[in-house]
Structure 1
Amino acid sequence: MIVCVCHRVSDREIARHVRAGLSFDDIQFELGVATQCGQCESCARDVVAQCSASHPIAALQRETGHQVIQLTSSIADSKAWNRSRSSAAV
C-alpha cells in the first residue's frame, strides 16, 4: 500500500527501512515521507511503530511467491489508514 502519495512510498519500503534500524526521522530524511503535504505522517508513524524491533507486529508472509506485509488491527483501524483506503477507491 502506498503510504506517502507525494513521494510514492509504500508500507513495504518503510518496514524495510525500520528492519534496517532506521528511526522515523531517518526514514523521513531518506524517503521524504511526511515532508510535503503531511497527510501521511500519522499512518507512516504507525507503520514505523508497528515494525520497530521492540514491538514487532508487521509480519512477512509468503503468498504466491511474493512477500506481503500483514498489518495488525491497530494500523488497519487507524484513521489515516482508512482515509487513504477510501480516497484510493474514489
Structure 2
Amino acid sequence: MVLPMSIGLAFWSGVAAAGYAIAALFFLRFWRRTGDPLFASFAAAFLLLALVPAMSVLLDLPEEQQAWIYLLRLAAFVLIILALIRKNLR
C-alpha cells in the first residue's frame, strides 16, 4: 500500500523547487545582460534541479521508484561541471 505524501513534505519540496526556479531566473537575467554561456548553463542546471522536487511531489511515487528522477540532478551537476571546464579552458 502506498501512503500519500505528507502535506509538510510536499510544502517543503515546493519551496525547494521555487528556490531553484528563482535562481534559474537570476542566471537567465545575467545571461541576457552579458551573453556569457556560463550563465545560460547555470540557468539550465537550476531548472533541472527545480524539476527534481516538483516531480517527486507531482508524481507521488514511492521512494523506491523515484531513483530515475535523480538522474536529472546528475545531469544538472554534469552541466555545471562542463560549463566551468569550458569557461576555464578559454
TM-score (norm 1): 0.36
More strand by share: 1
Q: Highest CA radius of gyration, 1 or 2?
A: 2
More helix by share: 2
Which structure has more relative contact order (CA 8 Å, sep 6+)? It is 2
TM-score (norm 2): 0.36
